[in-house]
């Protein structure tokens, strides 16, 4: 065990994967000698050579196109998109190519070895283009897996699992936590399961569901509600696609109430899918409407970032509303 | 940390020099004149009799296939087809200059390459009829071939996407250190996509052994090359990327073969990309959904029909004593029959069983897909007559 | 009034708009002399000249980038993306640029005059890449409007409204209906409202909601259900963003049941947003879970297209299940 | 329907000619030597005293602004800053060669152009402090300036997106028939994006009067130009698109001014795009989030510091008798004070009222945004101390 922040845990996972398998290659804008603008890939070029860790030209569609080809060839690319906000030029390569590669070839070819890493999310005074949470855009895309860790321990275990998973994985890192989240991380190799939510805390009155950096928000709200005598169950979804509807449904059947929190705008956010599925699965158990506490339906603002964010206070108020329904 | 001076190789001028395309003038390699006689100045590539015959065979085969399948589409037997007619030399001779271990990533009009590699009539048909024998499992429209054994990547419709992919594939080949390159085919229209730019630039910077083979056939559906770009074709772009470039007469088997051979040598030896622009013409309609009379003249087509690559190759082979008109006529007739027979046989083959609908989305179907399949099967069994292609075999295997 | 098919109605709307306002310009791949691969822009180049109706090079990101600039300049571009499946290379230009242009400049600049037309949807043996229904990808994008007509009359009125609306509109045309849907269309200028759903048929037992080509599917299912004595209310959403939650909620408060049908895959499809919102608004009125009849969570298949589609039979069965809940 | 022969201008060869970049050699226009003396062969552009002084003023102003704001960022007064240091000539002299009605679409490092156009210190500050006086309403990070009155399009972070946009903007200008062009600035890194390819190709084919102005400053954050492309800079790409191209010493005011003037003339007269590649160097860190010692040497920086564009311009102006060191020192000192004073004043200005959060998403807020605002205001009024920037003014106006 060692104390690591989230970035260090990712760096550690990359080293573990690259040591184990020489087919793992890490690349993207500034990831080479410099180690990435956040330094997640620090020292990898020194350790593993320029062939396996390198800068690419500044083209996201090229990075993912290249990574698709490299994965189809049999290597295990770990491509970095410098900010989640800049993943959209690669949207076609991801949605039309990565996700459909195996299906369209009847399983003859696949890019299952591909992992795409990208920092996402707000709370860092980044405004429009350094704050977005684009997970829902990808969650409508059969063939992709989407994984989001909430702390260093999760980050290492889930990233290792993502790199080794034989399906393309979009691994989204809450950049707000890069240095802020620090915890014990095993130095050994380990994996955490993809597709499984984690019940962080059991409770009986309401289920609070989130992922990534918003976990600490719902935890804080739960603490506030606890003082009012509310017992909240807290779940980290961890995988957005495929998502663990069983765990969520089971919890909701017990608590009778569900609140989902995410940073992305409300409309068409992934909370909508969860709400739609759970209202169907748990119809007779629900004691109040499923509540969504999300970003506003605006581009991500700067001056009003604090007001925009689905913070613990908004969550706490929504818990109260749900319980009083 | 070495000093990198981005001015190191830049000369200087003191007057405002506006550089225009005039500076560049990329000539087109032609070895056989249109009548099939070699140019005196040309050093023909070494092409043995067997290879020459194989090339001609593949060229004639795809011409036959094109005719037959356009017919089949008109009869409503298949939904869609897209012919290679006029571009047989470009797509066949280039493939002939490769090794079997080289990966082919194509656009969609490269059945010549596939036929040369040995894709059988049955395989063509299985794909086009989307049946259960097709290893691609009938998931895409006709002409989206793909075959792992032949190192021919399954085709994808979105244009240009295969270009940066080919760079990545070739990078992987380089890292493995095998004697293998990737060839990436695309049209001059697809070369307008951003992916073209990304793919060529990345290949150049990352030293990927990939041959970019552009078929400049003058049209992208109805859009003439003159409305596609204003520069000197696609070849002139190679220079901008620092990619070695060859422009070739795409209707000249010899020239295409020589150019591709040279390109492969360079790619392997120097571990770098090479761009080939093959100047040719899409004699066919864009696809069976298209009618070119709306956007080009008969005369233009006739002019190009006279440059038929198959006729040129035949003429040259005749001069070598490698071609016999009569024997060939029989071969072609046999091809026609074979294609027709295979078509008739294969069109009766079933579509894949319904279970396949959820397979290959992931390596193994997750819970939600299993649930969706279960529900779907229950539904089909309630209304079997409405889903006649699959209801008869709901219990697989 | 004249009998027109959906393509003719669109062509007619474009002529109307171009005659009225010389700043309206129409372009895209093959839209010039040829009139587009579906012929929606037939004769426009002849009528209005090469300056106002023209072919572009084959680059969707370029088409929308160019259109963004042209709109910012004050013209009214109507850009065509040849197939909805090929809109993804333009995803960045749409999601990061078009949608955020006005907001990021504080309203100093905008591309509100932009209209993007694209054919979408399946049922034409098009497989993966000529069948997709990508509306949900865009519905998560504040700043965009999304409009989908179901017949020629709607097409003309909604397209004219879209071109004139001072917000960027993604206008999605059900290509399956291009020639199949024929109806009376006024030759005069008229507009239909954006953001308003249309109640096509009143009913009292269940609300059936769809858009585009799926309207005829739910109508057919409703007819079947009628024979069982079920009275279905049928709503065409018409605008996906912003969507008319009031009309839907009002209907559901009356019928107590809601079924949503769309072609796109279930997970993260726009039905999820509708279900999430309506379960909240109508919680106490719902007599059964909101039902979603959608495409499977796979890429769009070819050989199994019929099985994949959310057809009238699946819809009919879902109506029965909902009523028997 | 005219006949369009895509071979019309293609010459022929009969040997395999591999074209390499060697063919092209695009020289760099320099008019003033590094010490400020004009090259004998150079015909200097007509630059009157006032314009020369305005250019120098703007250059010095942004240098001062850069220093001060980097300081302010270190003190935690603003969150982010991005300096133009070293590239003042490229960004200022180019803007000086334009007319006020020309649209500027920039990347983010072009404060020289903005200062030249007359953007005031107050305006710079309002944007950087995201306050209610900023017409951009504080929605983006510092340095994302934009001003309708100055024809300076609000900056957007995603790189390269403005390139095809500029083509479209210029097309609109052409259709209106006014004497106006668009200038589009971008870095050599951004030129790797697919949007670059799309934008240049479309401008060439559709004859858009746009000046593409590439600042090749050797780096994209940590990535040196040598890992960005393998060709002869960005200029060599222009040829591939059939776009007239000029390469210029970006640290030479005279050369940049002359090149841009020529480019504008061509763009207007021929209604076509022109590409300028300005060779320069990013003397500053990429931004305040960056530390270049991790990826480049002090010596390299020093070499470029010696090519300071401001010093060169001063030397030339001194020779013209247009520059007085002492008077200038006072001007610069005054600039420093002004910037600091304005900074102190503006940092106290409020952020926009909370109602603004839902405005400008659409022309008018739809129902759901109104509902979200209402809920948000109710929430803020419940916890005013948690939202101190907006809770004090919940009832606007
Ligand atoms: C991204 C994308 N945009 C548009 C299309 C529709 N489309 C199919 S083929 C074609 C023309 C391609 O022309 P070219 O690349 O020159 O190839 P050719 O057909 O001439 O062989 C177009 C526009 C597509 N398949 N993919
Ligand atoms: C689409 C996109 N990808 C990545 C980034 C992150 N980024 C910001 S600046 C930059 C480097 C740009 O280099 P260059 O274009 O050469 O301009 P310079 O900073 O040298 O002026 C990068 C990678 C971005 N802003 N947009
Ligand atoms: Mg073509
Ligand atoms: Mg740069």
**Rounded CA gap, B24 and B28, in Å?**
13
* Together in a domain, B220 and B272: yes
D14 is a domain residue? no
In this prediction, residue A309 carries a pLDDT of 98
Closest CA to D213 of D46, D95, D305, D56: D95
Question: By the 8 A CB rule, do D80 and D73 touch?
Answer: yes
CB contacts under 8 A, D 78-97 vs B, are none
Strand partners, C77: C25
Give B45→chain C minimum CA distance, Å.
Answer: 35
C265·A136 Cβ contact <8 A: no
Query: Which ligand 1 atom is the nearest neighbour of the CA of C129?
Result: 25
Ligand number nearest CA of D192 is: 2
Tell me how close the Cα of D45 comes to any Cα of chain C, in angstroms.
31
In terms of Cβ atoms closer than 10 Å to its own Cβ (0-12, 13-18, 19+), residue B132 is middle
Per-residue pLDDT of D40-67, as tens digits, reads 989 999 999 999 999 999 999 999 999 9
CATH number belonging to domain A2-185: 3.40.50.970
Q: Output the six-digit token pair for C94.
A: 């749409």
Q: What percent of chain B has pLDDT over 90?
A: 91
Nearest CA to ligand 1 atom 17: B187
Determine the pLDDT at residue D10: 74
Does B36 contact ligand 1 (Cβ within 6 A)? no
C-beta atoms of A142 and C96 within 8 A? no
How high is the pLDDT of residue D386? 98
* pLDDT tens digit sequence for C195-206: 999 999 999 999
A198-324 folds as Rossmann fold (3.40.50)
> Can you give the pLDDT at residue D250?
97
Q: Is the pLDDT confidence value at B7 over 90?
A: no
Is it the case that residue B195 has pLDDT exceeding 70? yes
Closest by CA position to D84, among listed D51, D50, D119: D119
Give residues 251 to 310 of A whose Cβ lies within 8 Å of B. none
Indicate the pairing of strand A24-28 with strand A53-55: parallel
B380 contacts on C by Cβ (under 8 Å): 307
Give the DSSP letter of residue A95: I
**B240 shares its domain with B371:** no
What integer pLDDT is reported at residue B367 of this predicted model?
97
Mean pLDDT over D89-118 rounds to 98
Residue B242 contacts A, CB cutoff 8 Å: no
* Residue B146 CB less than 6 A away from ligand 1: no
- The CATH number of residue D234's host domain is 3.40.50.970
Which residues of chain A register pLDDT less than 50? none
Of all residues in chain D, the one with the smallest CA distance to C52 is D175
D189, D288, D296: which to mutate for ligand 2, most atoms within 8 A of CB?
Answer: D189
Q: Name the neighbours of D, counting chains with at least 3 Cβ pairs within 8 A.
A: A, B, C
Ligand 3 centroid to Cα of residue B302, in Å, is: 18
Looking at the predicted structure, is the pLDDT value of residue B1 above 60?
no
**What pLDDT, on the 0 to 100 scale, is given for residue B3?**
45
Of the candidates A66, A142, A242, the beta carbon closest to that of B367 is on: A242
Query: pLDDT-based confidence at D20, cuts 50/70/90?
Result: low
pLDDT of residue D3: 44
pLDDT tens digits, one per residue of D154-172:
999 999 999 999 999 999 9
| pLDDT confidence band for C276 (50 / 70 / 90) | very high
B284 and B380 in a single domain? The answer is no
The ligand placed nearest to the CA atom of residue D285 is 2
The predicted pLDDT at position B20 comes to 65
- Domain carrying residue D364: 354-390
Q: Residue B4 above 70 pLDDT? A: no
Both D339 and D385 in one domain: the answer is: no
Q: How far is the CA of D2 from the centre of ligand 1 (A)?
A: 22
pLDDT at B22: 53
Check pLDDT > 80 for residue C139.
yes
Neighbouring-strand partners of residue B32: B38
Measure CB to CB from residue A265 to each of C142, C271, C298 and give the nearest one.
C142
Does ligand 1 have an atom closer than 6 angstroms to the CB of B222? no
**Residue B9, token pair as written in the block:** 């190789």
ipTM higher than the 0.90 cut: yes
Contact A58 D192 (CB under 8 A): yes
- A59 and chain B: CB distance < 8 Å anywhere? yes
Of the partner residues C55, C302, C313, the one whose CB lies closest to the CB of residue B386: C313
Residue C83 structure tokens: 């197939």
Q: For ligand 1, say whether the CB of B188 is within 6 Å of any of its atoms.
A: yes
* B86 C-alpha to ligand 3 centroid (Å): 12
Question: Which pairing describes strands B219-220 and A291-295: parallel, antiparallel, or unpaired?
Answer: unpaired
> Among residues 135-154 of chain B, which lie with CB inside 8 Å of chain A?
135-140, 144, 146-148, 153-154
Task: Parse chain C into domains and list their residue ranges.
Answer: 2-185, 198-324
Token readout for C61 is 């990101």
Both tokens of B266, joined, read 């360079």
| Cβ count within 10 A of residue A61 | 32
Whether B335 is in the pocket of ligand 1, judged by its Cβ within 6 Å, is no
Chain C residue with CA closest to B384: the answer is C307
Q: Which residues of C touch A85 (CB under 8 A)?
A: 96
Q: What ligand has the least distance to the C-alpha of A29?
A: 2
Predicted pLDDT at D5: 72
User: In A11-152, at which residue ranges do the beta strands (DSSP E only) sit?
Assistant: 24-28, 53-55, 76-80, 115-120, 145-147
Chain B partners of A245 at a C-beta cutoff of 8 Å?
367-368
Q: Count of domains in chain B?
A: 2
A168-208 pLDDT, tens digit per residue, is 999 999 999 999 999 999 999 999 999 999 999 999 999 99
**Nearest CB to A73; choose among B169, B197, B199:** B169
Cα(A150) to centroid of ligand 1, in Å?
43
Using CA atoms, how far apart are residues D306 and D287, in angstroms rounded to an integer? 21
**pLDDT (0 to 100) of residue D160:** 98
> What digits encode the pLDDT tens for the residues D325-351?
999 999 999 999 999 999 999 999 999
Residues D373 and D312 in one domain: no
Instruction: Kindly tell me if the per-residue pLDDT of B397 is higher than 90.
Output: no
Distance (Å) from the alpha carbon of A4 to chain C's nearest alpha carbon: 34
C212 sits in the region (left: phi over 0; alpha: psi -120 to 50; else beta) called left
Q: Same CATH topology for A2-185 and A198-324?
A: yes
Of D139, D295, D368, which has the smallest distance from its Cβ to A128's Cβ? D139
Rounded mean pLDDT of C299-324? 98
Task: Tell me the C-alpha to C-alpha distance, in Å, between residue A316 and each of A220, A272, A275, C93, D246.
Answer: 8, 20, 19, 37, 61
Q: Is residue D21 part of a domain?
A: no
| Closest-CA distance of chain D to residue C315, Å | 29
Neighbours of chain B (3+ CB pairs under 8 A): A, C, D
pLDDT (mean) for D120-149: 97
Q: Please report the pLDDT score of residue B23 as a whole number.
A: 60
- Does residue B277 sit within a domain? yes
DSSP 8-state secondary structure symbol assigned to residue A242:
S
Residue D154: inside a domain: yes
Pocket lining for ligand 2, CB < 6 angstroms: A 29, 58, 60, 82, 86, 89; D 109, 157-159, 187-190, 215, 217, 219-221, 282, 286
How high is the mean pLDDT of chain C? Answer: 98
Helix (H) or strand (E) holding A45: helix A44-48
* E-assigned strand segments in A228-290: 232-236, 239-241, 258-265
Ligand 1 atom at shortest distance from the alpha carbon of B157: 25
Tell me the three state secondary structure of residue D253: helix
Going by pLDDT thresholds of 50, 70 and 90, the confidence category of residue B2 is very low
Query: Please, are residues A263 and A309 in contact by the beta-carbon 8 Å criterion?
Result: yes
pLDDT band of residue D1 (cuts 50, 70, 90) is: very low
Same domain for D337 and D362? Answer: no
What are the residue numbers of the active site of C? 60, 130
Three-class DSSP labels, C65-111: HHHHHHHHHCCEEEEECCCHHHCHHHHHHHHHHHHHHHHHCCCCCCC
Looking at all shown ligands, the one closest to residue D110's CA atom is: 2
**Cα B290 to ligand 3 centroid, rounded to whole Å:** 14
> Which DSSP state fits D284?
S
Do residue B140 and residue A96 have CB atoms under 8 angstroms apart?
A: no
Q: Is the dihedral of CA B107, B111, B117, B118 positive or negative?
A: positive
Q: How many CB atoms lie within 10 A of CB D336?
A: 14
Distance CA(D89)–CA(D86), nearest Å, equals 8
What is the rounded average pLDDT of the residues B232-245? Answer: 92
> How many angstroms separate the CA atoms of B68 and C200, rounded?
48
For the CA of C82, the nearest atom of ligand 1 = 4
User: Are the Cβ atoms of D194 and C89 closer than 8 angstroms?
Assistant: yes
Distances (CA, A) of B303 to B86, B187, B296, B300, C305: 12, 21, 12, 5, 42
Residue D30 shares a structural domain with residue D75: yes
D3 touches chain B (CB under 8 A): yes
Collapsing DSSP to helix, strand or coil, D315 comes out as helix
Number of inter-chain CB pairs under 8 A, B vs D: 255
Mapping DSSP onto H, E and C, the string for chain B reads CCCCCCCCCCCEECCCCCECHHHCCCCEECCECCCCCECCCCCCCCCCHHHHHHHHHHHHHHHHHHHHHHHHHHCCCCCCCCCCCCCHHHHHHHHHCCCCCCEEECCCCCHHHHHHHCCCHHHHHHHHCCCCCCCCCCCCCCCCCCECCCCECCCCCCCCCHHHHHHHHHHHHHHHCCCCCEEEEEECCHHHCHHHHHHHHHHHHCCCCEEEEEEECCEECCEEHHHCCCCCCCHHHHHHHCCEEEEEECCCHHHHHHHHHHHHHHHHHHCCCEEEEEECCCCCCCCCCCCHHHCCCHHHHHHHHCCCHHHHHHHHHHHHCCCCHHHHHHHHHHHHHHHHHHHHHHCCCCCCCHHHHHCCCCCCCCHHHHHHHHHHHHHHHHCHHHCHHHHCCCCCC
Cβ–ligand 1 distance for C86 under 6 Å, the answer yes
User: Tens digits of per-residue pLDDT, C17-55?
Assistant: 999 999 999 999 999 999 999 999 999 999 999 999 999
Same structural domain, D219 and D325: yes
Contacts of A68 in chain B (CB under 8 A): 164-165, 168
Residue B13: which pLDDT band, with cuts at 50, 70 and 90?
confident
Query: What per-residue confidence (pLDDT) applies to B21?
Result: 55
């Amino acid at each position: 065990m060692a104390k690591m922040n989230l970035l260090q845990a990712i760096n550690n996972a990359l080293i573990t994967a690259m040591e184990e398998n020489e087919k793992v290659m890490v690349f993207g804008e500034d990831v080479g000698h410099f180690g990435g603008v956040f330094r997640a890939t620090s020292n990898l070029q020194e350790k593993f050579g320029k062939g396996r860790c390198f800068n690419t030209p500044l083209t996201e569609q090229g990075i993912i196109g290249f990574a698709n080809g490299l994965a189809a060839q049999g290597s295990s690319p770990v491509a970095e998109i410098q900010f989640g906000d800049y993943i959209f030029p690669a949207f076609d390569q991801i949605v039309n190519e990565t996700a459909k590669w195996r299906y369209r070839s009847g399983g003859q070819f696949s890019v299952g070895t591909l992992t795409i890493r990208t920092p996402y999310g707000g709370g860092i005074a980044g405004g429009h283009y350094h704050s977005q949470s684009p997970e829902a855009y990808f969650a409508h895309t059969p063939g992709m897996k989407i994984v989001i860790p909430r702390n260093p321990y999760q980050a290492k275990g889930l990233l290792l699992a993502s790199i080794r998973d034989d399906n393309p994985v979009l691994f989204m890192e809450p950049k707000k936590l890069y240095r802020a989240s620090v915890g014990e991380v095993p130095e050994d190799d380990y994996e955490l399961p993809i597709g499984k939510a984690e019940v962080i805390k059991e409770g009986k009155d309401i289920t609070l569901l989130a992922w990534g950096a918003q976990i600490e928000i719902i935890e804080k709200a739960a603490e506030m509600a606890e003082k009012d005598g509310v017992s909240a169950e807290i779940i980290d979804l961890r995988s957005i696609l495929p998502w663990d509807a069983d765990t969520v449904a089971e919890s909701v059947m017990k608590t009778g109430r569900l609140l989902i929190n995410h940073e992305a705008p409300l409309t068409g956010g992934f909370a909508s899918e969860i709400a739609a599925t759970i209202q169907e699965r748990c119809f007779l158990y629900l004691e109040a409407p499923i509540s969504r506490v999300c970003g506003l339906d605006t581009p991500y603002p700067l001056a009003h970032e604090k007001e925009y964010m689905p913070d613990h206070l908004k969550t706490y108020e929504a818990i109260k509303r749900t319980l009083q329904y | 940390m070495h000093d990198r001076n981005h001015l190191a190789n830049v000369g200087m001028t003191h007057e405002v020099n506006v550089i225009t395309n005039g500076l560049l003038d990329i000539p087109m390699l032609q070895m056989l004149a249109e009548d099939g006689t070699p140019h005196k100045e040309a050093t023909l590539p070494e092409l043995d009799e067997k290879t020459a015959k194989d090339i001609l065979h593949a060229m004639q085969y795809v011409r036959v296939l094109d005719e037959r399948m356009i017919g089949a589409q008109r009869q409503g037997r298949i939904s869609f087809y897209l012919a290679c007619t006029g571009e047989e030399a470009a797509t066949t001779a280039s493939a002939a200059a490769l090794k079997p271990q080289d990966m082919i990533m194509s656009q969609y009009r490269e059945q010549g390459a596939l036929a040369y590699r040995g894709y059988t009539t049955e395989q063509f048909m299985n794909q086009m009829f989307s049946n259960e024998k097709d290893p691609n499992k009938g998931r895409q429209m006709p002409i989206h071939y793909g075959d792992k054994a032949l190192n021919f990547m399954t085709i994808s419709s979105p244009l240009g996407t295969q270009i940066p992919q080919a760079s990545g594939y070739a990078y992987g080949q380089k890292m493995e250190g095998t004697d293998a390159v990737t060839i990436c085919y695309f049209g001059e229209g697809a070369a307008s996509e951003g992916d073209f730019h990304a793919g060529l630039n990345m290949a150049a910077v990352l030293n990927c052994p990939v041959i970019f083979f552009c078929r400049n056939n003058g049209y992208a559906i109805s859009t003439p090359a003159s409305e596609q770009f204003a520069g000197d074709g696609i070849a002139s772009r190679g220079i901008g990327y620092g990619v070695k470039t060859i422009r070739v007469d795409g209707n000249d088997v010899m020239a295409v073969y020589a150019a591709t051979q040279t390109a492969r040598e360079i790619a392997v030896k120097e571990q770098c990309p090479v761009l080939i622009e093959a100047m040719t013409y899409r004699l066919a309609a864009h696809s069976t959904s298209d009618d070119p009379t709306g956007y080009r003249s008969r005369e233009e087509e006739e002019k190009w029909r006279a440059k038929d690559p198959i006729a040129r190759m035949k003429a040259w082979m005749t001069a070598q004593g490698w071609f016999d008109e009569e024997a060939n006529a029989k071969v072609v007739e046999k091809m026609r029959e074979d294609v027709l027979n295979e078509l008739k046989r294969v069109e009766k083959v079933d579509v894949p069983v319904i279970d396949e609908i959820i397979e290959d989305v992931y390596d193994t179907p997750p819970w939600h897909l299993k649930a969706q399949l279960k529900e779907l099967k229950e539904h089909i069994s309630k209304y079997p007559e409405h889903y006649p292609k699959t209801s008869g075999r709901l219990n697989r295997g």
